[in-house]
Structure 1
Amino acid sequence: MTTKLAIFAYDGCLSTSVTGPTDVFHIANIHQRVRKEDPGSPLFSWKIYSPDGKPVNTSTGITIAVDGRYEQAGNPDICLIPGIDHAFGYEVTQKTEEMRGLLGKLIKTHHANGAAIASNCSGSFLLADTGLLDGFEATTSWWLAHHFTHSFPKVHLRLEKMVTEDNNVFCSGAVTAYMHLCIRLIEKFAGPNIAKCCAKTVMLQNKECTQAPYIPVPHHFKQQDELVKNAVSWMLENLDQEFHLDSLASQLAVSPRTFIRRFNQATGKPPKQYFQKLRIDEAKRLLESTALSVDDITEKVGYVDVSSFRRLFKREVALSPTEYRKRFAR
């Protein structure tokens, strides 16, 4: 039986979020043909829809022909929402509000009818806006975390994940994560063997399905606080020093309890945990831009035991320091 895919495109969407998935699902169909002399119906079919049935102008100016209006999609098995083109986070929230009346009710109706709902990149904002993700896990482009959590506080954002699946709603991370999303959907609807073949064909290392290596310490705070700003400045200047909460609180002329409370409110993290992440960020920078040994970098970011630092780095970044350097060194 053929799994039917409906892609709900719109002006300004990312072109790869539309054309990329169709290529991956086409590869799945090819593998089915190769594995069987008489393949019968293809594994997947797809149609592209726009709000008014007219061609869509994507973010790069490429015009994509469509098969009809949104409401003509029928009863697809999978609904795919492309990512929103943006330079700034507020543009994503604005587009989400603009699309609410066009997509919101439609997405919820298809979900209620049993369709899997999927999004790529910033398209997760359009899914979260429907309320379908309230109380469930989601992911999105790592640089949009601040805007996402501010707009949808009821959603459990798992930024480190490349793909999330919860409540029959799938989200994927930044741009090219659509490939991981498609492999996950192929596995769900066509089985693990076809999915593995497709992953090999597109040279996708599915075991490293995480955005963790790319995520820096967030620069956006939940609220502005001069005390927290001064604390972070001290941290950045003293990454190689021991962190003593009581001492830093005293320098800032507040009690440790007040310091922890205000720091948590502003950053979403305890001071010591934030300091640790700043150290990891600096280690990443040194691994990318210098030839310093891991031992030297360990010392520069304030750790004494190299083995402990390696374990911490692997836990936070999902790669060892050596693996990170091989992948990202300039």
Structure 2
Amino acid sequence: MEPVLPQHNIALLNYPGAQLAALYGLKDMFEVANRLAEGQTNSVLKPHIVDLFEDTATHLHDLPTCAALIAPPSLSAEKHTGQGAVHHWIKTQHQKGALICSACAGAYLLAATGLLNGRTATTHWALKQEFSETYPSVQLNTDQLIVDEGDIITAGGVMAWTDLGLRVVERFLGPAIMLDLAHQLLIEPGRCEQRLFSAFRPELHHGDATILKVQHWLQTTFTTRVTVKGMAEHAGLTSRTFLRRFYRATGLNPKAYLQLLRVEKARRQLELTPKPVNEIAWAVGYEDPTAFRRIFLRIVGLPPGEYRKRFSVEAARQALER
């Protein structure tokens, strides 16, 4: 008779709007990891989908203690935050030692329990402002694809559930099995930065018509030598008043805003055109290509040339032909 291996119960939380591809994808990942781990480890993962709908939430206390809970992404416009019985169950599992995890908008469910208060977490970069306004006690860092706090792990983008799945496998089955799984499923292990994928989306719904006029003006003049003084003059404000109102409206100082706008335009040219990097630098308003490369690296996390190798249309075409 074969010995029964210790099981790590992994609860995959199915809530209203949860992405089913992630739920069943994670289940498949863990089952593949178990096959790869046969003979190499003394434990297995036991994934099971737990429904968090109102008519089932009262039965949560009947479930066994979990080694990990995972709130998957959601593609729904309405973010699910759960209710009392669900919150109590998640917090109870955490108190019993469960690893609490989320991917993308699944972080809303964790934040609603209060477990993320005072902690660093991540979610999809496009949700940054909304999430921060809803849960100001959470120290949000959407530059990171994975934030591992030891007992709580949050992942960023919609497809970051794959990265999260690898992290959970590494935690319970070890790094060797995790790497085998990554190779088997063709997932790049060790990705950690979300900013490589984030686009600059300026805040335009702040209600300050004067600042909005300047923002629209910058969309057409960013290639020229624009100064803060010039922006203030276009707004018809003193420099001091302009700086205060611009920051209040956009959350950025004008210089940082202009850099983000220029770098976003450069990213698109790197992705879609074969233009030399120096030419792109000049085209988006940088007279010094070296300064452009330095700013691009700081904002994006990769040098322009490396970014093109990874994210250009040509790079995608070549990958498909391999």
TM-score (norm 2): 0.87
Pick one of 214, 224, 245 that aligns with 1:262: 245
The structural deviation recorded for 1:281 is: 0.4
Match of 1:79 in 2: 69
1:222 CA drift (Å): 7.3
Looking at structure 1, the residues matched to 118 and 175 of structure 2 have their Cα atoms a distance apart, in angstroms, of 28
Q: 238-247 vs 219-228, which deviates more?
A: 219-228
- Call closer, same or farther: CA 1:70–1:16 in 2, change over 3 Å: farther
Which residue identity lines up with residue 84 of structure 2 in the other structure? G
Alignment match, 1:103? 86
Q: CA deviation at 1:54?
A: 8.4
**1:167 and 1:326, CA in 2 relative to 1: closer, same or farther beyond 3 A?**
closer
Paired residues for 1:200-279 under 5 Å? 200-220=183-203, 223-279=206-262
Q: Which residue of 2 aligns with 1:63?
A: none
Q: Which runs of 5+ in 2 are unaligned?
A: 1-5, 314-322
1:287 to 247, 267, 270: 270
Structure 2 vs 1, CA of residues 321 and 165 (structure 1 numbering), >3 Å: closer, same or farther? Answer: same
Q: 2:301 matched to 1:318? A: yes
Deviation at 1:81, TM superposition (A): 1.4
Query: Please, what is the CA RMSD of the aligned residues?
Result: 2.3
CA distance in 2, matches of 1:212, 1:168: 24
**Deviation digits for residues 86-115 of structure 1, max 9, x if unmatched?**
1x3xx12xx32xx22342222111112221
Partner of residue 26 from structure 1, selected from 26, 31, 36: 31
SS for the counterpart of 2:114 is coil
1:228·1:262 contact (CA, 8 Å) conserved in 2?
A: yes
3-state DSSP of counterpart to 1:30: helix
Q: Is the 8 A contact 2:27 2:48 kept in 1?
A: no
CA contact 2:74–2:106 (8 Å) conserved in 1: yes
For residue 176 of structure 1, what is the aligned residue in structure 2? 159
> Does the Cα contact within 8 Å between 1:53 and 1:70 map onto a contact in 2?
no
Asked if 1:45 is matched to 2:13, the reply is no
Structure 1 position 5 matched with structure 2 position 6: no
Query: Stretches of 4+ moved more than 6 A in 1?
Result: 52-55
| Distance in 2 (alpha carbons) for counterparts of 1:17 and 1:148 | 21
CA distance in 2, matches of 1:189, 1:158: 26
Deviation at 1:27, TM superposition (A): 2.5
Distance 2:170 2:238 in 1: 53
Q: Is the CA contact (8 Å cut-off) linking 1:27 and 1:198 kept in structure 2?
A: yes
Give the paired residue count: 307
Structure 2 counterpart of 1:26, one-letter code: E
Alpha-carbon distance, 1:167 to partner? 6.2
Contact in 2 for aligned 1:53/1:69 (Cα 8 Å): no
1:236 aligns to what SS in structure 2? helix
* Per-residue CA distance 1:244-281 (angstroms, 9 max, x = gap): 21232133222222222222222211110011000000
Contact residue 264 and residue 270 of structure 1 kept, 8 A: yes
1:92-150 superposed Cα distances (whole Å, 9 cap, x missing partner): 2xx32xx2234222211111222111112211111111111112111112222222112
Counterpart AA for 2:179: K
Amino acid at match of 2:70: L
Query: Aligned equivalents of 2:54 and 2:210: distance in 1?
Result: 54
Identity %: 31
Unpaired runs of at least 5, structure 1:
56-67
Partner of 1:59: none
Letter in 2 for 1:270: N
Shift of 1:204: 2.2
C-alpha displacement of 1:13: 1.4
AA partner of residue 11 (structure 2)? A
Cα distance, 1:288 vs structure 2: 2.2
Aligned residue for 1:212, secondary structure, equals: coil
TM superposition score normalised by structure 1: 0.85
Distance 1:248 1:12 in 2: 43
